[in-house]
Amino acid sequence: MKSLPYTILATCILLGGSTQILFKMGMNSIGPLGDLFSIKTMTIIFSNKYIVMGLILYGISSVLWLIGLSMLDVSLMYPLLSLAYVVTTVLAFIILNEPVRTTRWVGVLLIILGSILVGVNR
């Protein structure tokens, strides 16, 4: 039972990163938006399978986040949620073939190091 809160937190981190990749895949398939607030644009966005899958994962992640907050301190959970940036960057590099420059990788490393510091003194 003691590992359940951390499993939930890890799942939220993975879902957070995956959601952003799905959103990007959806928007890549739609292309640049013209009139953002038109019904036509909203229909195109919210009928895209990647956007819909991303929203579903986002919803699941939100529910899990609330469950996790009932078990862990927010001062631990929220900083560790920054690891979703790491997941997003790695997935963008692997799945979307986005170029990730050295300075961005250094930033990712700093996020990891910061997360270790936050998690060390639980």
Give the model confidence (pLDDT) of 49-77 as tens digits. 999 999 999 999 999 999 999 999 999 99
Helix pair angle (39-46, 49-69), 10° resolution:
70
Give the model confidence (pLDDT) of 38-47 as tens digits. 888 899 999 9
Compute the distance between CA of residue 34 and CA of residue 41 in angstroms, rounded to an integer.
8
Give SS3 for 19. Answer: helix
pLDDT value for 33 = 84
pLDDT band at residue 119 under the 50/70/90 scheme = confident
Q: Are 61 and 12 in contact (CB under 8 A)?
A: yes
Compute the distance between CA of residue 104 and CA of residue 80 in angstroms, rounded to an integer.
19
Against a cut of 0.85, is the pTM above it? yes
Phi, psi of 37, deg, nearest 5: -100, 15
